[in-house]
Amino acid sequence: MLSVPVETQILFAGILFFLGMIGLLVRRNLVFMLMSIEIMFNSAGLVFIIAARHWNQPDGQVMFIFILSVTAVEVAIGLALILQVYHHFKTLDVDAIHKLKDE
């Protein structure tokens, strides 16, 4: 089996996380933003997988399962909310939603 140093693996996860963040910043559509958040969550999950592999423990895997379920709930609620946003604002462009602000 090809052995990749653990640092490299973390770096990979980090890059993934960073990409998710970038995606979040550049995208305006709420759905895409939600997807970017998913990417960030998954990259974080990846770290746990790497760690589990590194320490030969099941804990990381367990954590990942939890993460998966939580993100699933998150997406569910998120999509529901996005629906409501569309209902109220007639757009998914996040920049158009700024009623709440300092005068």
Partner 1 sequence: MTETDFLSLSPFLILALAPIIIMIVISIYRNYEVVFGFSVLSIVAAIVSIVFILPVIPHSIAPLFLVDRYSLFFITIILISALLVIFLSYDYLKQLDGIREEYYIILFTSTLGASLLAVANHFILFFLGIETLTLSLYILIAFEKTKDSSIEAGIKYLVLASVSSAFLLFGMGLIYITFGSMQFSVLEIAIRHLNQLPLLFIFGVGMMLVGIGFKLALVPFHMWTPDVYQGAPAPVSSYIATVSKGAVMAVFIRFFFNIRGFDNQSIFIVISGIAVLSMFVGNLLAIQQKNIKRLLAYSSIANMGYLIIILLTGSDKGIQAAIFYLITYFITTIGAFGVISLLSTKELEAENIEEYRGLFWKKPWIAIVMTFCLLSLAGIPITAGFIAKFYLILEGMKAGLWILIFSMIINSVIGLYYYLRVITSMFSVANENLLPSVSVLGKVTLAFVTISILVLGVYPGWLIDFIVKYAIL
Partner 2 sequence: MKTLIALIPALPMISFLILVLFSGKLSRKVAGWIGAGSIGIAAVLTVIVSVDLISALPEIKSYQITLWQWMSVGNLSADISFRLDSLSLVFCFVITFVGFLIHSYSIGFMDKDEGIIRFFAYMNLFVSSMLILVLADNILLVYLGWEGVGLCSYLLIGFWYKEPENGTAARKAFIITRIGDTAMIIGIFILFLSFGTFNIQDIMHLASAKWVAGSSIATITAVLLLGGALGKSAQVPLQTWLPDAMAGPSPVSALIHAATMVTAGVYLIARTNVLFSLAPIVQGFIAGIGALTLLIAGFSALTQHDLKRILAYSTISQIGYMFLALGVGAYSAAIFHFMIHAFFKALLFLAAGVVILVLNEEHDIFKMGGLRKKMPAVFWTFLIGSASLSALPLVTAGFYSKDAILWFALSSTSGGVVLWIAGIVGAFLTALYSFRMIFIAFFGEAKTQPSFQAGYLMTIPLVVLAVFSLFGGFIELPASLGNFHLFSNLINQSLPVVGIKNVEHLEWLFQLISSLIALSGIYLAYLFYYKKPVFIDSFNHSKIHHFFEIGFGFDKVYDILIVRPVVWLAEIDKKDFIDQINISISNMALIGNEVLSIAQNGKLRWYLLTFAFGIAVILTYMMTK
Residues in contact with partner 1 by CB under 8 A are 6, 10, 13, 17, 20-21, 24, 30, 33-34, 37, 40-41, 43-48, 50-51, 54-55, 57, 59-60, 62-63, 66-67, 70, 73-74, 77-78, 81-82, 84-85, 87-89, 94, 97-103
Distance between CA atoms of residues 2 and 100, nearest Å? 53
Rounded Cα–Cα distance for residues 18 and 22 (Å): 6
Partner in contact with 85, chosen from partner 1, partner 2, none, beta carbon below 5 to 8 Å by kind = partner 1
63 binds partner 2 (CB under 8 A): no
Q: Which helix (H) or strand (E) holds 5?
A: none
Please state, in angstroms and rounded to a whole number, the distance separating the CA atoms of residues 28 and 48. Answer: 30
Per CB under 8 A, contacts with partner 2 among 73-102 are 94-95, 97-102
Q: Is 28 an interacting residue with respect to partner 2 (CB under 8 A)?
A: yes
Question: In this structure, what DSSP letter does residue 97 have?
Answer: -
Instruction: Yes or no: say if 35 and 23 are a contact pair by the CB < 8 Å rule.
Output: yes
What is the contact surface with partner 2 in residues (CB under 8 A)?
21, 24-25, 28, 94-95, 97-102
